[in-house]
Amino acid sequence: MARLIMWPLVLLLTAVTVTSKDMIDKVLDERKSLFDRELGLMLGSNMKLSDSEIKANDIIMALKVDEVERGLEHPKDFNLSKHFFEYKDIVKDTKLFKMIKKMPKGAVLHAHDTGILGPDYVLKLTYMDNLYISFDGDNINFKFSKTAPKTDTSCGCDWKLLKQARAEAKSVADFDAELRKYFTIVIDNPNEVYTDVNTVWKRFQQYFISTGPLFTYKPVWEKYYYDTLVAMREDNVMYFEIRTILPDLYDLDGNTYNAVETAKIYKKVTEKFQKDYPDFFGAKLIYAPLKVLDKPTLHEYIRTAKEIKKLMPDFFAGFDLVGQEDIGAPLRDVVTELCDAGKDLDLFLHAGETNWSGTSSDENLFEAVVLGAKRIGHGFALIKHPVLMEEVKRRGIAIEVNPVSNAVLKLVEDVRNHPLAAFLSQNMPVVISCDDPGVWEADPLTHDFYITFVAISSRHADLRLLKQLALNSLYFSTHPNKDKLVHEFEIRWTKFIDSVVKNRW
């Protein structure tokens, strides 16, 4: 009798086991379907890799996964979760960084005139002849002149020939080390000193104030820009669109050069560089004066932009307004003027470089979209605006994302939480750029690509993402012959892939 009772129990247990297996299979199948759908949305996911690219991808992904997994197991040792100043030099020794350094990265579409080369380069400029220096408390002043400039009675600052000041110093090394501090915002304790956005921006802006008279000496301006192009090329950038305030320049003979003449100098130096390096695809200029202004000043800026475009239509790319967004004039206050500008000028507007939501700085994104901006600078706050995200994607407005800048200037503490992660996962029209890499001692573009790939993008994002980001920078550029640019990129990309497979670094 007991044996008869056991048979229904066995059948019941068997049925439960079968049902459980069916349910588990269903759950796992649904999980895989959702997972594949999500990966299918990622930027670059529809790209097909060649056999060589697959081999290179295996090498690159092994390095990436190793870094991510090590960080997952030992969070306190994951460098990219710390302040950029703590790991900017450390990561240069990794194989993956060196690979990305060698990788053709397309174009830089968002970088500012005198913020691109680092403090060691700027320090060398102070060895030039006819440079005078004066100190005003914690501030420093420079001036190139044939004779000592007049003492500034407002501060009682005495000018001294810099060569003389250096020669009189007890230690030249110590003198230069102190001088170098004015050419960088990098410090040993950034989290203690740069406690908020305003604090770091004050130091950031002081860099440009202190170095302004040094850089605006015409021979220095020309040299700095030429060497900027050198640095871009060495970082495997093919093409460059520079944002510049076009300051008045001066020389030793008392001549000054206005914004239009400064633009002509940019064009002349670009042409010389392309002659010296025919493998570089040139540069264009985006006129980007300061946003804190009155209406007559803005009208003058727009008039200047139109004049430059008329004189140099093939070199002039467009117009922008720059400055700390939270405390600057909102774009809605100058919509009328920008509407007028947009009739004749392409707009590349800074917008949404803020952590706030619902403020004027955040809502600058609306103006940027409706004014027809070709690209939006930063767009950090875009993640909070689902309608705008749809519009940006529908209209093909590229978002110029500058990951290192956003971290250093206190928009995001841990780059893993950067909104770019969401942009990448939703195949948004993104380009990676660098903003002012020299001020925080980063490479022209490699650091931004490396951080995007290792810390911001999904662990599953692979070589296709890197390639798509590089191609996006070419597609969304204003280069007149993008087909030629992309063709050359593909040639360089193939060589890069072959070198990865062969050398593994």
Do the Cβ atoms of 303 and 258 come closer than 8 Å? no
Distance CA 367, CA 333 (A): 10
In the chain, CATH 3.20.20.140 sits at 84-118+220-503
pLDDT band at 1 (very low <50, low <70, confident <90, very high): very low
Distance CA 489, CA 475 (A): 12
Distance CA 373, CA 320 (A): 9
Name the active-site residue from 112, 378, 447, 479: 378
Distance CA 255, CA 250 (A): 6
Distance CA 170, CA 172 (A): 7
Is 378 catalytic? The answer is yes
Name the active-site residue from 353, 367, 400, 441: 353
Q: How many residues are listed for the chain in this entry?
A: 505
What's the predicted TM-score (pTM) here? Answer: 0.94
Closest CA to 317 of 292, 282, 352, 293: 282
Q: Report residue 435 CA to chain centroid gap.
A: 4
Is 353 catalytic? The answer is yes
Asked if residue 158 has pLDDT above 50, the reply is yes
- Could you tell me the two tokens for 454? 């290792």
Closest CA to 203 of 79, 115, 296: 115
Do the Cβ atoms of 501 and 55 come closer than 8 Å? yes
Which tens digit of pLDDT belongs to each residue from 384-412? Answer: 999 999 999 999 999 999 999 999 999 99
Percent of the chain with pLDDT over 70: 95
Q: Which residues contact 406 (CB under 8 A, 6 or more apart)?
A: 353, 378, 380, 412, 415, 418
> What's 84-118+220-503's CATH class?
alpha beta
pLDDT at 219: 98
Which tens digit of pLDDT belongs to each residue from 258-290? Answer: 999 999 999 999 999 999 999 999 999 999 999
Maximal CA-CA distance, the chain: 119
> What is the DSSP-derived secondary structure letter of residue 47?
P
**What SS3 state is found at 377?**
strand
Do the Cβ atoms of 295 and 328 come closer than 8 Å? no
- Could you tell me the two tokens for 343? 């009739």
Residue 428, amino acid: M
Q: Which residue has the tokens 């917008």?
A: 351
pLDDT at 20: 86
Cα–Cα distances (Å) from 148 to 130, 157, 376, in that order, read 9, 12, 45
Q: What is the mean pLDDT of the chain?
A: 94
Compute how many other C-beta atoms are within 10 angstroms of the C-beta atom of residue 109.
28
Instruction: Report residue 280: phi and psi, to 5°.
Output: -95, 135
